[in-house]
Each structure stands twice: as structure tokens, then as C-alpha cells.
């Protein structure tokens, strides 16, 4: 009897577990574009277009390889509207009695498959370096789950940048070389962009029609939508941009949205590339002497370290994790996150590029939008939904630990040992935003003072009981305590006034 083989929009890998377990001569691959997946948060139109176009191309590739694919487009009049609905419809249509699936990367869909009234064999998604059981064993009995130790284990396991059992260059981590601000460089290569083909054009028309009011620019659409294109993008990054990746990893520039970043996460997360092949390529560039060690190590750490670690945390902590709110932050996400007017140049630029590209790089996500939401006390559930919606690479297993854990500290310190908060100084040091801002980063009080300068202290004082004893934060409290009392009162009063204006919906 025919079995259904479910392939989801982020499982576009020819040897994904469900396809490996299936038989192309008798089983039926089910792929479906459904409104339930398109609307659980108001996704960026570019993100929806990327996934739908990549799915359609992937289905064609499967057919070319001899699979039978039942593919449902979003505008199919018989579309059942959800993944379980589509599986049931196809089961009835083809007399199939059971389903093979690769475990989804999100608790919501895992539960949906569990609830299906026909038998489903759910296979582990083994496109990752660290299986769940290995992460659980690593976490077992540890007081703190620090990424650095996990990363070393992944280096040993993969052998990436290892010399025997020692790390290449005799150090695990070259991050102290990676904090340089960048200068405008008109000659810097841009990420590889791809002109839409006929399939992508059809998808773009459909997305424009079905999601007309979602935040984000659909065109120009330039993402890779096939594995061949994604490999092209990897090659381009490795040759042109990787050498400067380490040095400028934390830099931000108004005139350059991508700097030396790879823009590979959208392709990696939907399965067009594999983490190991990317890292292998990066290691090869370093071994050939074409890129410095701090660039190669820094990049590989992001993928086999941070990315795998975040996935481990998401599945270890369980379905409630995205709703954690240990600091009890309740403020509404301000309108400026959706493009509302603001004089804060750093936020204006980050949100504008997010709207245009469905992309911002790590430091913009962490130290601009994330930092601001945290020190302003925004409800982390709303912050989580925003990030899940607006970035092309946002899938809950990787987005939630980054947002709820790393950036909002809403998990109480599982991912980070201290909250990522900073005054305007850090942004000024790493970017050219402040020179063009309506506020002054040098001013600590008054109407012109950089809001980060005000809210930073407001945050620390709101949570003094929790953080004052943290050895990595004690110095900040000592600085505050040494400040003149009048100045302290003014800082807090100005911060309150700013938050009130923002909460009233005024442009800030």
C-alpha cells in the first residue's frame, strides 16, 4: 500500500530522513502550501516567497528523480488549509494508510502530527551535527549550559579546524580579534543575488495577492531558491567575503546592510545547504591560506556552535519556552518596529533594512532591536513574534532561543549568563549610526540624550535585585552608585518620560 511521505517547507534536502526511508516506486510525496503555515505569524512577504518558490523547485527536482509528488499550491481550490488537513485529504484520495515524516522543527507542528488520526512514523531530523540525545547527555548534570564548552565538543566530533586533539592555532576561540568597526567600502562585494525565474515570478504574484498588507517589501526578490543557486552563494561568500568575516563581524554601517556576512541562514534553514558542507568549505579556504584563522574559526563557531546549541536548548526546554517572561516585561512592542516614525537612527536603519530585505545581521538583531526591546521592557512574547515574522531565516527552533533567551533574557539565564544590554556607546563604537541620529549619544540626560543611555540605567535599576550579585554586572552598579544623586534622579525621570511617550504611541 502507498505511504505518504511528508516534506515540509524547511525540509528541502534530497536525503532528508523521510525521503531516505521511503520508496520512490510506490510512495507518494506530499508537499503543501497552506494558509495555516503562512499566517501563524504575519511573515515577511520575501520569507513566504522564498519558501514557496524553493518548495516548487524542490518538487520539480524530486519528480525529475522519479518521485511521484502530490503538490498543493496555495490557490488550489481544494487546499485543506493546514498540514494535517492536506495529509488527510491525500490519504483519502490515494487510499494511503500511513505517513512517514521527518520531525518538524517546531513544537506546534510536532503536536499537530501527533494528533493525526492515521499512523505517522516520525523520524529524527538528522541534518544537524548534534542529535537530541547527545545534547541531553551533554546538558545532564551541568549547572550552566555554556555554549563554549558545547562548541569544543562539536569541534572534536567533526574534526573541523583540529590538529589531532588540539584546536588549530592552539586556541578554541579567536573572538578578541573580531570586534573592529568597519569603514564604508564601495568595493566590498555584495551577497550573490538571483533574478526570479518563471516559477518565482508566479510565486511573487501569488504572495502579493494573498499577503498584501504584511510588513515587508516583496520586491526586488533576490534570494536563491534552488540548491544549485545556494551553492553559488556559498562559493561567492567563501571567495569574496569570508576573509573579512571575523574582523567586521560586529560592525554596522548605514550604507552597507550586509558587510561581510554570508546571508546563508535562509538557505541553510530550509535545507538547501548542509551545515557541514558550509563549514568544510570554510575550513578548506583557511587551509589553503586564503582566509585568516579568526575568520574561519569565528564562522565555524556560529554554525557548529551557536546554531546547534540553540537547537539543543529549544528541544531541551520544551514547548513552553517561547512564552517565558522571567523579568515580567509587559510593554507593548512599539510601532517603530513596524516602520513607525522614530528619530533613533540605529533603529530606523535596522527596521528599514529588515522591511526591505527580511534580513539584519546578528549585531543589529542583538544590540539594536533586541537591546532596545529589553531595556524598554517590551513583552518578550511580542518580541518573539516580531522576529519570527520578519526574518527570512526565522524558524522557531533557532529564533526562540536567540530571542527569548539570548536577546531578552526571558529564560532567566539559560542561554546567556547576563543580559545583552548596553548604552549608546557600544552602538556608537561599532557603527556610523549615531552621527546621523536625532539624539546625541554623548548626552546622558535631557530631551536630546540617546534613549539607550537612559533606558540602560532604567533597566539595571528595575532589576537590581536580580543582577546586582552577578559578578559580570557588579561593576555597572558600582558606576551607578558613584553617580551624583541629582543626575541619577534625572536619568530615571527622563527614561520614564521617554517610555511614557512611546507607550502613548508618540513618535520617539
Binding residues for ligand SF4 (CB under 6 A):
344-346, 424, 427-428, 433-434, 437, 439, 441, 450-452
Residue closer to ligand FAD (CB basis): 85 or 416: 416
Grid cell at residue 104: 518538524
Residues paired with 73 in a beta bridge: none
387: partner contacted, choices ligand SF4, ligand FAD, none (Cβ within 5-8 A by kind)? ligand FAD
Strands (E), 302-414: none
Of 2-10, 261-269, 316-324, 333-341, which segment contacts ligand FAD by CB under 6 A?
261-269
Residues contacting 507, CB < 8 A, separation 6+: 336, 340, 341, 342, 343
In the numeric block, the cell 494535517 is attached to 84
Q: Answer whether 182's CB lies under 8 Å from 256's CB.
A: yes
Q: Among residues 218, 233, 253, 263, which is the contact residue for ligand FAD, using CB under 6 A? A: 263
Of 11-19, 49-57, 393-401, 450-458, which segment contacts ligand FAD by CB under 6 A?
393-401
Q: Answer whether 455's CB lies under 8 Å from 495's CB.
A: yes
Cα 259–chain centre separation = 17
Q: State in angstroms the smallest separation of the CB of 406 from ligand FAD.
A: 5
12: partner contacted, choices ligand FAD, ligand SF4, none (Cβ within 5-8 A by kind)? none
In the numeric block, the cell 533574478 is attached to 195
With b for 16 or more beta-carbon neighbours within 10 A and e for fewer, the 454-466 pattern comes to: bbbbbbbebbeee
Q: Among residues 132, 180, 210, 362, which is the contact residue for ligand FAD, using CB under 6 A? A: 362
Residue closer to ligand SF4 (CB basis): 246 or 424: 424
Cα 9–chain centre separation = 16
Residue closer to ligand SF4 (CB basis): 233 or 437: 437
Q: Among residues 168, 344, 406, 421, which is the contact residue for ligand FAD, using CB under 6 A? A: 406
Strands 166-167 and 120-123: unpaired
Q: Report d(CA 374, CA 419) in Å as an integer.
A: 9
Q: State in angstroms the smallest separation of the CB of 243 from ligand FAD.
A: 13
33: partner contacted, choices ligand FAD, ligand SF4, none (Cβ within 5-8 A by kind)? none
Told to check if 404 binds ligand FAD by CB under 6 A, we report: no
Residue closer to ligand SF4 (CB basis): 264 or 454: 454
434: partner contacted, choices ligand SF4, ligand FAD, none (Cβ within 5-8 A by kind)? ligand SF4
Told to check if 391 binds ligand FAD by CB under 6 A, we report: yes
Residues within window 285-314 making contact with ligand FAD, judged by CB under 6 A:
299, 302-303, 306-307, 310
Q: Report d(CA 386, CA 450) in Å as an integer.
A: 24
Q: Answer whether 150's CB lies under 8 Å from 138's CB.
A: yes
Residue closer to ligand FAD (CB basis): 29 or 378: 378
Q: State in angstroms the smallest separation of the CB of 26 from ligand FAD.
A: 36
Backbone angles phi, psi at 454, to 5 degrees: -75, -50
Of 67-75, 400-408, 410-418, 490-498, which segment contacts ligand FAD by CB under 6 A?
400-408
Q: State in angstroms the smallest separation of the CB of 367 from ligand SF4.
A: 9
Residue closer to ligand FAD (CB basis): 4 or 303: 303
The helix/strand/coil state of 101 is: strand
Told to check if 379 binds ligand FAD by CB under 6 A, we report: no
30: partner contacted, choices ligand SF4, ligand FAD, none (Cβ within 5-8 A by kind)? none
Grid cell at residue 369: 532591536
Q: Report d(CA 152, CA 24) in Å as an integer.
A: 40
**Cα angle for residues 161, 164, 167 (degrees, 5° grid):** 40
Q: State in angstroms the smallest separation of the CB of 433 from ligand SF4.
A: 4
427: partner contacted, choices ligand SF4, ligand FAD, none (Cβ within 5-8 A by kind)? ligand SF4
Grid cell at residue 388: 519570527
Residues contacting 111, CB < 8 A, separation 6+: 319
Residue closer to ligand FAD (CB basis): 331 or 362: 362
Residues contacting 22, CB < 8 A, separation 6+: 3, 5, 29, 100
268: partner contacted, choices ligand SF4, ligand FAD, none (Cβ within 5-8 A by kind)? ligand FAD
Report DSSP letters for 258-296, one per residue. STT----HHHHHHTSS-HHHHHHHHHHHHHTTSS-HHHH
452: partner contacted, choices ligand FAD, ligand SF4, none (Cβ within 5-8 A by kind)? ligand SF4
Q: State in angstroms the smallest separation of the CB of 363 from ligand FAD.
A: 8
Q: Answer whether 502's CB lies under 8 Å from 332's CB.
A: no
* Number of residues engaging ligand FAD in binding (CB under 6 A): 28
Q: Report d(CA 459, CA 475) in Å as an integer.
A: 15
Question: What does the binding site for ligand FAD look like in residue numbers (CB under 6 A)?
Answer: 261-265, 268-269, 299, 302-303, 306-307, 310, 361-362, 365-366, 370, 387, 391, 393-394, 398-399, 402-403, 406-407
Amino acid at each position: 500500500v502507498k505511504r505518504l511521505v511528508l516534506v515540509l517547507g524547511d525540509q528541502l534536502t534530497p536525503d532528508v530522513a523521510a525521503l531516505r526511508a521511503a520508496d520512490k516506486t510506490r510512495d507518494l510525496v506530499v508537499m503543501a502550501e497552506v494558509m495555516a503555515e503562512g499566517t501563524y505569524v504575519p511573515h515577511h512577504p520575501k520569507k513566504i516567497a522564498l519558501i514557496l518558490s524553493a518548495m516548487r523547485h524542490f518538487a520539480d527536482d524530486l519528480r525529475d528523480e522519479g518521485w511521484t509528488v502530490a503538490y498543493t499550491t496555495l490557490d488550489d481550490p481544494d487546499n485543506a488549509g493546514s498540514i494535517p488537513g492536506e495529509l488527510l485529504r491525500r490519504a483519502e484520495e490515494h487510499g494511503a494508510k500511513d505517513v512517514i515524516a521527518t520531525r518538524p522543527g517546531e513544537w506546534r507542528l510536532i503536536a499537530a502530527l501527533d494528533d493525526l488520526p492515521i499512523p505517522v512514523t516520525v523520524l529524527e531530523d538528522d541534518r544537524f551535527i548534534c542529535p537530541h540525545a547527545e545534547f541531553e547527555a551533554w546538558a545532564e548534570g551541568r549547572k550552566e549550559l555554556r555554549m563554549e564548552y558545547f562548541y569544543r565538543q562539536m569541534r572534536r566530533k567533526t574534526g573541523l579546524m583540529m590538529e589531532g586533539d588540539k584546536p588549530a592555532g592552539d586556541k578554541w576561540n579567536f573572538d578578541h580579534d573580531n570586534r573592529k568597526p568597519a569603514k564604508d567600502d564601495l568595493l566590498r562585494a555584495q551577497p550573490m543575488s538571483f533574478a526570479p525565474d518563471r516559477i518565482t515570478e508566479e510565486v511573487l504574484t501569488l504572495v502579493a495577492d494573498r499577503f498584501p498588507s504584511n510588513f515587508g517589501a516583496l520586491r526586488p526578490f533576490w534570494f536563491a531558491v534552488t540548491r544549485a543557486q545556494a551553492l553559488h552563494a556559498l562559493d561567492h561568500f567563501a571567495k569574496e567575503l569570508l576573509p573579512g568575516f571575523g574582523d567586521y563581524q560586529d560592525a554596522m554601517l548605514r550604507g552597507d546592510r550586509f558587510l561581510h556576512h554570508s546571508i546563508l541562514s535562509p538557505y541553510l534553514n530550509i535545507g538547501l545547504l548542509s551545515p557541514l558542507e558550509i563549514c568544510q568549505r570554510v575550513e578548506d579556504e583557511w587551509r589553503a591560506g586564503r582566509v585568516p584563522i579568526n575568520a574561519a574559526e569565528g564562522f565555524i563557531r556560529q554554525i557548529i556552535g551557536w546554531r546547534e546549541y540553540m537547537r539543543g536548548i529549544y528541544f531541551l526546554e520544551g514547548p513552553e519556552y517561547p512564552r517565558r517572561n522571567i523579568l515580567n516585561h509587559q510593554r507593548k512592542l512599539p510601532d517603530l518596529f513596524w516602520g513607525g516614525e522614530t528619530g533613533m537612527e540605529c533603529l530606523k536603519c535596522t527596521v528599514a533594512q529588515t522591511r526591505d530585505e527580511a534580513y539584519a545581521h546578528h549585531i543589529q538583531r542583538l544590540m539594536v532591536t533586541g537591546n532596545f526591546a529589553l531595556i524598554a521592557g517590551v513583552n518578550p512574547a511580542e518580541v518573539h513574534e516580531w522576529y519570527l515574522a520578519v526574518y527570512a531565516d526565522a524558524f522557531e527552533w533557532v529564533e526562540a532561543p536567540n530571542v527569548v533567551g539570548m536577546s531578552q533574557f526571558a529564560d532567566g539565564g539559560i542561554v546567556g549568563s547576563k543580559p545583552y544590554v548596553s548604552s549608546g556607546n557600544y552602538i556608537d563604537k561599532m557603527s556610523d549610526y549615531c552621527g546621523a541620529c536625532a539624539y546625541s549619544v554623548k548626552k546622558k540626560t535631557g530631551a536630546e540624550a540617546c534613549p539607550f543611555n537612559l533606558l540602560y540605567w532604567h533597566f539595571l535599576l528595575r532589576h537590581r535585585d536580580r543582577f546586582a550579585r552577578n559578578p559580570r554586572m557588579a561593576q555597572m552598579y558600582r558606576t551607578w552608585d558613584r553617580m551624583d544623586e541629582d543626575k541619577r534622579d534625572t536619568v530615571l525621570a527622563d527614561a520614564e518620560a521617554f517610555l511614557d511617550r512611546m507607550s502613548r504611541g508618540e513618535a520617539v
